């Protein structure tokens, strides 16, 4: 087992898949500049920079995928996905269905999102729910270096377009990662901590905040189960439902804003399929419905933190130690 950063785990996955399959190539904004090792090993035909033109990059990837290649494109910051949505949603997401399966679209769209670098509202906006809503797409948003590697390899091998969101604050966080072949199935959540009193469901950066909250709750006699969704579409309903049926309480935590977010979908699934098991209302802790601040301090104020998660859990289990 090696210890490497999330960014290096993604690079390792790319290198291994490019060695395994000559149809895998990578292009986008600054990829050849950032990943010299890939350029040195695979050459400029397979790793190349592009102009800052997100729509053209995504459209080129959709065309390349339809012709049998397996492109990975890097569009840098998630807010600029809005410039590429026609190619991703109307072409890559729909044409496999519309062509009766004559075309496949094995492409990965890599992008960065979330608070942590103070890059301002136009470079920081959690848009993952928009793509969860679009048919034909898969959406992943891991939290650990090992999952970044395993899910990137799985995404490259998938015959459907996969949106791969990297939380900016996690990019340089190290973690244990298996060497060599390591795949994580798309659509499988992970139970990171077992508990009996309340279920905390999250993804990306706020998974770590949930684990911190669970540790604090344990010190106050409350046992919290922590689930990392890892994949937002398809979502692992079975793991979430099994946990809620055990604990009877659910808090969904994410940095994106609440309205029509992933938390709303999880809450609806539990309400439809496990309502009888609930002993308290489902709670959501999310970011605000507002543009992100450039100030790091203000930016952090928009992210659900461990203390807020702990306090919400205490309210749900109706203890006498609820924070004011």
The residues with which 110 forms a beta bridge, in sequence order, are: 74, 164
Cα–Cα dist 151/139, whole Å: 11
DSSP 12-47: HHHHHHHHH-TTEEEEETTHHHH-HHHHHHH-TTTE
37 in Cβ contact with 59 (< 8 Å) = no
- List the catalytic residue out of 29, 54, 104, 255: 54
Beta strands in the chain (DSSP E): 2-5, 24-28, 47-49, 70-77, 108-113, 138-140, 162-167, 174-177, 190-193, 198-202, 224-228, 231-233, 250-257, 283-287
Sign of CA dihedral 6, 9, 15, 16: negative
Q: Quickly tell me which residue has 């279920």 as its tokens.
A: 199
In this structure, are residues 93 and 135 in contact, taking their beta carbons and an 8 Å threshold?
yes
3-state secondary structure of 221: coil
Annotated active-site residue in 17, 29, 123, 299: 123
- From residue 267, give the alpha-carbon distance in Å to each of 83, 106, 244, 291: 30, 31, 11, 24
CA 151 to chain centre: 10
E strands in 215-282: 224-228, 231-233, 250-257
> Does 123 participate in catalysis according to the annotation?
yes
Integer Cα distance of 97 and 116 in angstroms: 38
Q: Return d(Cα 316, Cα 293) in angstroms, integer.
A: 31
Does the annotation count 179 as an active-site position? no
- Looking at the annotation, which residues are catalytic? 54, 123
């Amino acid at each position: 087992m090696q210890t490497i950063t999330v960014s290096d785990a993604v690079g390792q996955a790319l290198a291994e898949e490019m060695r395994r399959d000559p149809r895998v190539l990578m292009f986008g904004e600054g990829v050849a500049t950032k990943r010299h090792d890939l350029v040195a090993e695979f050459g400029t035909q397979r790793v190349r920079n592009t102009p800052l033109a997100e729509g053209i990059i995504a459209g080129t990837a959709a065309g390349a995928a339809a012709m049998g290649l397996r492109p990975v494109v890097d569009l840098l910051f998630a807010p600029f996905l809005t410039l590429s949505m026609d190619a991703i949603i109307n072409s890559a997401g729909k044409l496999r269905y519309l062509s009766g399966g004559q075309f496949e679209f094995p492409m990965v769209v890599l992008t960065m999102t979330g608070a942590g670098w103070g890059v301002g509202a136009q470079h920081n906006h959690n848009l993952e729910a928009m793509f969860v809503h679009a048919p034909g797409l898969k959406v992943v948003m891991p939290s650990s270096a090992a999952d970044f590697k395993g899910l990137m390899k799985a995404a490259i091998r998938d015959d459907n377009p996969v949106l791969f969101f990297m939380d900016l604050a996690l990019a340089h966080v190290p973690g244990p990662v298996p060497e060599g072949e390591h795949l994580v199935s798309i659509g499988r959540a992970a139970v990171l901590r077992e508990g009996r009193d309340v279920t905390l469901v999250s993804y990306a950066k706020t998974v770590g905040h949930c684990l911190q909250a669970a540790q604090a709750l344990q010190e106050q006699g409350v046992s919290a189960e922590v689930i990392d969704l890892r994949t937002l579409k398809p979502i692992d309903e079975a793991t979430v439902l099994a946990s809620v049926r055990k604990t009877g309480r659910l808090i969904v935590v994410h940095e994106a804003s609440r309205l029509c977010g992933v938390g709303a979908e999880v809450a609806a699934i539990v309400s439809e399929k496990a309502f009888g098991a609930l002993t308290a209302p489902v709670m959501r802790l999310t970011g605000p419905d507002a543009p992100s601040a450039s100030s790091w301090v203000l930016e952090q104020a928009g992210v659900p933190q461990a203390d807020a998660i702990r306090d919400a859990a205490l309210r749900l289990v109706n203890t006498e130690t609820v924070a004011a």
